[in-house]
Amino acid sequence: MAKRQPNSSGKPNRLRIVAGNWRGRHLPVLDLPGLRPTSERVRETLFNWLMHWIPQKRCLDLFAGTGALGFEALSRGAAGCTFVERDQTACRQLRLNAASLDAAKALIQRGDAYACLESLPDKSFDLVFLDPPFADADLARLCSLVDRSGILAGNARVYVEQDRDAPDLELPPGWAPFRTATAGNVRYSLFLTGQEQADQ
């Protein structure tokens, strides 16, 4: 989710899926406070990092917002993605976008991201996207909760977006940086966890 600039043009916001089965498809983005899709530039770089790894992986978009990350993963061959979003209007739009893509492997769950960690039906995710609103997130605590929740598969990777000027993230034991880049005011990183780190 994270921050977005207000839309002053009066035109509907849209996101474009960069690659995969739905390449070039456009999805509407609601004009809601705090809502913005992860940019095309960032998604392209992230999924270049994951290009040969993402097929058939199970994903969790924990602060789904527009669903840009989760839908991009599904477009590129992920086995499934659970989208968690607490805002009712944004959640409704996620369901509409999933239906427009005929995304049968998308599971939309409305709820608080922190609370949902204890009640997710799938307890073995290969890739977790953490893109909370910058101002509201204690990322170190969030990563620790994800690590202790039991939702990570043995070879899991965790993607994190944060403010470019934020201090380095304190990682849970066994996690290690894999890739990091910046774009505008965003620093985005991919981390290896436990067994995945050991397998490198």
Express each pLDDT in 39-76 by its tens digit: 999 999 999 999 999 999 999 999 999 999 999 999 99
What was the pLDDT predicted at 197?
A: 53
The pLDDT assigned to 198 comes to 46
Q: How confident is the model at residue 2, as a pLDDT?
A: 39
Cα(160)–Cα(158) distance, rounded to whole angstroms? 7
- Give the pLDDT confidence of 124-161 residue by residue, as tens digits: 999 999 998 876 678 999 999 999 999 999 889 999 99
pLDDT of residue 136: 66
Q: If pLDDT is split at 50, 70 and 90, which confidence band does 35 have? A: confident
